[in-house]
């Protein structure tokens, strides 16, 4: 499994608009059929940074699914965010390979 992670720092002036937009954008990403789930998280930091930082993690079943997303969907899906928010958002993307997963069962 592969996690496609998008970390986004955004200006405070667009925070509420962006948050509404991303909650509509994530289902579009899942609708590509290339991801099995997504998590929207806020990055918690002690340092004072301007704006807000979020991480969106999309889980792909395979490298091939992620590559197919890049080839068939990435450019199109990125355009709306770029048009709406332009230079008020800074995003960077990373890929994570899941080696092992562990969980705790609570009774």
CATH of the domain at 27: 3.30.70.100
Q: Is 107 part of a structural domain of the chain?
A: no
Q: Is 56 part of a structural domain of the chain?
A: yes
What's the pTM value of the predicted model, to 2 decimals?
A: 0.90
- For residues 34 and 28, what is the distance between their CA atoms, to the nearest angstrom? 11
Q: Is 63 part of a structural domain of the chain?
A: yes
Q: Are 42 and 52 in contact (CB under 8 A)?
A: yes
pLDDT along the chain (107 residues), means of 10: 96 96 97 97 82 96 96 93 92 95 89
* Domain ranges, residue 40: 2-97
User: What pLDDT is recorded for position 50?
Assistant: 81
For 1-51, where are the E strands, in sequence order? 2-10, 37-42
């Amino acid at each position: 499994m592969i996690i496609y992670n998008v970390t986004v720092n955004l200006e405070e002036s667009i925070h509420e608009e962006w948050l509404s937009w991303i909650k509509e954008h994530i289902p579009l990403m899942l609708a590509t059929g290339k991801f099995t789930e997504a998590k929207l998280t806020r990055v918690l930091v002690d340092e004072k940074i301007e704006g807000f930082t979020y991480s969106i993690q999309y889980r792909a079943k395979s490298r091939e699914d992620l590559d197919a997303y890049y080839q068939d969907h990435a450019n199109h899906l990125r355009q709306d965010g770029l048009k709406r928010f332009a230079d008020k958002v800074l995003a960077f993307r990373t890929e994570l390979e899941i080696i092992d997963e562990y969980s705790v069962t609570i009774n």
